[in-house]
Amino acid sequence: MDPTTLAIAVLAGLLILLFLRVPIAFALCAVSIIGMFIIFAWPPGGAFNPARAMRPVQAFLGTDPFSFIKTYTFTMVPLFIVLGHVAHKARFTTDLFYTIRILLPRLPGGLAIASVVGCAGFSSITGSSMACASAMGRIAVPEMLRFGYSKSLATASVAAGGTLGSLIPPSLVLVLYGVFTEQSIGKLFVAGILPGLISVVGYVIIVLVWVKARPEAAPENHITATGREQLQALLRIWPITLIAIIVIGGVYTGILTATESAAVAAGVTIVIGFLLKRLTWEGFWDAVRETTFQCAIIFVLAIGAKLMVSFVGITGIASDLVAWTNAQNFSPALVLFMICAMYLILGTFLDAIGILLLTLPLAVPIIETLGYDLIWFGIIIVKLIEVGLMTPPVGINVFVIKSVVGDAVPLNQIFKGCILFIMSDLVVLYLLIAFPIISLLLPGTMF
């Protein structure tokens, strides 16, 4: 069977399975295994012989997935996940939110701004957007609703702020991107710092404009704090500040690799949590269980993506797609625009990691051929994925916040509130595309 025809058929089958709501990990594994079996059993110009495919397919499945998962780089995935869960169980995220709330009492929409900045702070020690949205949502949304904030503003500000977990280092999405594209994860982490800060500024501006246009959306909270109380609140967040310095500072200075920073930061978080008596053994084991569950999902997805990458490599469809793109004489800007549009569309019904692992085998070869920097492209992908986390019908962060608030806020109000934050993300996305130096400046200064 012609490899290109088979590859197209397999990709079509994958889309059908996704449309039928088959989990993306199982869909990737199923179509990849079937595709590899057919390509060995039915070579071009030959007859179909199933026996011919049994040994190579069994040998591949018996070694390749395990060899991929056991790599040194992948060890940082559970480390960063447990770091975030332990920090949440030790209530470091609660301290962060209330400290920022005290430091920003007089700003219009101060609680919403505190939520966004708190999400950014929590993102600096966890790599998951969902974990960030869930943790801050349980703290910030009830507080804003208690003070009479608009339901849309209260929920959307946290849903948007939670997306920063995919961009501000450490980011699990950037880790997986670095593994599959063989790029420096340390450079990817550092590349996300400036875009992450710009995104925070964009969200804060949205809150200020929203409250300026509709003052009733954020009533004055009348929170007052003396200078002494503000200093005490600031000192209370030293654990989360130390952890962020270890993760970001260690990687940037070259003192620690990304994996080493994950291990050191996770160990420090656990020790501090127990020493301060903020972390109980019950909370620790809850964090471990949640980490195990989340890692299992990510690793199965990674195995499915690895199988798909191998299948795509065997068929050569990536090379055919690159050749077709070159033959059409599309401008690099137009190709990039089409790739961005594809990610925005996929973001409406797939989760962040699923989108990433599904598209990399085909998108990266095209980007490399066009001469774009893969570190820069990784940040662009993450920003596109951030938008998808808020877009209907399957905006994952929106549903996370909905699970937190229950029936108190209708789902459509959360999606409606996210529109302005999505507009901010699109502006930031344009800046990142138009000015690649924003993403590449800090990686170029690394030791």
The pLDDT tens digits of the residues spanning 302-345 come to 888 888 888 887 887 777 777 777 787 888 888 889 888 888 88
Give the per-residue pLDDT at 234: 82
Terminal CA-CA length for the chain: 51
Which range (37-46, 109-118, 216-225, 403-412) has the least confidence? Answer: 216-225
Whether residues 382 and 437 share a domain: the answer is yes
pLDDT in tens, 386-443: 888 888 877 778 888 888 888 888 888 889 989 999 999 999 999 999 999 999 999 9
Which one, of 356, 28, 301, lies nearest residue 173 by Cα?
Answer: 356
Whether residues 207 and 271 share a domain: the answer is yes
Query: What's the pLDDT band for 447 if we cut at 50, 70, 90?
Result: low
Assess whether pLDDT exceeds 80 at residue 118: yes
Of 44, 70, 96, the position where a domain reaches its end is 70
Whether residues 129 and 270 share a domain: the answer is yes
Give the per-residue pLDDT at 324: 79
Whether residues 78 and 47 share a domain: the answer is no
Whether residues 113 and 149 share a domain: the answer is yes
pLDDT in tens, 19-78: 888 888 888 888 888 888 888 888 777 777 888 788 888 887 877 788 878 878 788 888
Give the per-residue pLDDT at 191: 93
Name the average pLDDT for the chain. Answer: 85
- Please state the rounded mean pLDDT for residues 206-218: 90
Domain count, the chain: 2
Q: How many helices (H) and strands (E) does the chain have?
A: 23, 0
Q: By percentage, how much of the chain surpasses pLDDT 90? A: 19
Whether residues 81 and 43 share a domain: the answer is no
Of 53, 70, 87, the position where a domain reaches its end is 70
Element (H, E) at 43: none
Whether residues 122 and 262 share a domain: the answer is yes
Do the Cβ atoms of 128 and 165 come closer than 8 Å?
Answer: yes
Query: What's the pLDDT band for 222 if we cut at 50, 70, 90?
Result: low
Assess whether pLDDT exceeds 80 at residue 366: yes
Asked whether residue 127 is assigned to any structural domain, the reply reads yes
Asked whether residue 129 is assigned to any structural domain, the reply reads yes
Which residues fall within 8 angstroms of residue 205, CB to CB, at 6 or more apart? 424
pTM of the model: 0.85
Give the per-residue pLDDT at 223: 64
Asked whether residue 90 is assigned to any structural domain, the reply reads yes
Asked whether residue 320 is assigned to any structural domain, the reply reads no
Give the per-residue pLDDT at 64: 76
Give the per-residue pLDDT at 431: 95
- Please state the rounded mean pLDDT for residues 217-229: 72
Whether residues 13 and 106 share a domain: the answer is no
CB-CB neighbours of 248 under 10 Å? 21
- Please list the alpha-helical segments (H only) found in 20-109: 24-41, 50-69, 76-89, 92-103
Whether residues 150 and 49 share a domain: the answer is no
Query: Distance (Å, rounded) from C-alpha 387 to C-alpha 129?
Result: 12
CB-CB neighbours of 315 under 10 Å? 22
Asked whether residue 233 is assigned to any structural domain, the reply reads yes
Of 70, 91, 106, the position where a domain reaches its end is 70
Longest dimension (CA), the chain: 83
Asked whether residue 335 is assigned to any structural domain, the reply reads no
Q: By percentage, how much of the chain surpasses pLDDT 70? A: 98
Give the per-residue pLDDT at 426: 93
Asked whether residue 343 is assigned to any structural domain, the reply reads no
Asked whether residue 6 is assigned to any structural domain, the reply reads yes
- Please state the rounded mean pLDDT for residues 291-298: 86
Whether residues 184 and 263 share a domain: the answer is yes
Which range (82-86, 152-156, 216-220) has the least confidence? Answer: 216-220
Residue 395 Cα distances to 103, 184, 290, 340, 358, angstroms: 31, 29, 22, 17, 18
Whether residues 100 and 231 share a domain: the answer is yes
Range of the structural domain that residue 128 is part of: 72-300+374-445
pLDDT in tens, 248-280: 888 888 888 888 988 999 999 999 999 999 989
Whether residues 22 and 154 share a domain: the answer is no
Classify 226 as helix, strand or coil: coil
